[in-house]
Chains A and B, each alone.
Chain A
Amino acid sequence: MNSQDDLKTRFSKVRNQDQATAPLFGQVLGRRRRAAPLWIAVTVPTLLVALAFSLHLKPPADTPPLLDWSSPTAFLLETPGGQLLRELPKVGNPNLEIPRSSK
């Protein structure tokens, strides 16, 4: 027996076994599905994560609006004499407000 025939014989033995043990068509078509569909396994965790993010990112009600915010170090930008640069001088009025020392 050449090797081609040997392979054919071996495969035909497997084929005969499969034919003898194959389930019926109706059994295969009507068998119970094995596991929950994958989309449930993917969708449920995704929805839970999305819900958690949406709750986490929602600002609390007593938070002041963003436009009212100022930096805690903003006072450092106020330099002495800065008023001279911001306002036009007026006749009769000294432009500089010099704080009077109380003695």
Chain B
Amino acid sequence: MMDLIAMHDAPVGPFAVRVTETPLVDATLRAALEAHHIESFGWAMSCCRRRRDEAENVLQIVYLKVLSGKAVFDGRSEFRTWLFSVIRRTAANERRLAFLRRLYLSRIPPPQRREEVEVEPRLQQELAALSARQREVLQLVFYHGLSIAESARVMGVSIGSARTHYERGKQQLRRRLQ
């Protein structure tokens, strides 16, 4: 992980530029991505409303972004927190672009959704009824075991805001599940 942190602290995004690069970085990045792959898949599933094909697509874009240096880890947070925030932003971006894709590429058939039996369908149903922020913070805390502060960093909001979303979301979810 130290090799990752040794990279520079350029902003993450399409204009991020890698200043220094060691031959080990790509292999280290790949290993770090692979180590967090299962967690990342679960988070991508949540960001894509449990649509598996979309989640895999988002995850692939994220991996390519990271490995090509378009998204650069700056070492200011844990690698997992940073990776989750990249997945979250990429999923949101893909959702926005999906509309244009449908408009221009309507002749391309939509991807086949694999029929899978979901466990806890009631939980998924009630989570979907919550606001996006509440859903995200509950997923990060209960599914991934992140703290409220870490969740706030992933979501790009203040800790106070994340705490409010957490409390309200938890109350609503409890009420709905009863």
The interface residues of chain B, by DSSP majority, are classed as: helix
The total of Cβ contacts below 8 Å across the A-B interface reads 82
Give the complex CA separation of A18 and B173 in angstroms. 21
User: Please, which residues of chain A bring their CB within 8 A of the CB of B59?
Assistant: 28
Give the complex CA separation of A10 and B118 in angstroms. 12
CB-based nearest A residue for B104: A41
The interface residues of chain A, by DSSP majority, are classed as: helix
B177 touching A6, Cβ below 8 Å: yes
User: Please, which residues of chain B bring their CB within 8 A of the CB of A29?
Assistant: 60, 63-64
Number of interface residues of A (CB under 8 A): 30
* B56 contacts A by Cβ under 8 Å: yes
B101 touching A35, Cβ below 8 Å: yes
Minimum CB–CB distance from A12 to chain B (whole Å) comes to: 8
Given known pairs A11-B143, A21-B116, A36-B108, the reply for A28 and B42 (CB within 8 Å) is no
Give the complex CA separation of A25 and B177 in angstroms. 34
Given known pairs A11-B123, A18-B41, A22-B41, the reply for A35 and B174 (CB within 8 Å) is no
A23 touching B41, Cβ below 8 Å: yes
Give the complex CA separation of A59 and B118 in angstroms. 65
Give the complex CA separation of A62 and B33 in angstroms. 67
Interface residues, chain B, with chain A CB atoms under 8 Å away: 33-34, 37-38, 41-42, 45, 53, 56-57, 59-60, 63-64, 97, 100-101, 104-105, 108, 111, 116, 118-120, 123-124, 138-139, 142-143, 170, 173-174, 177
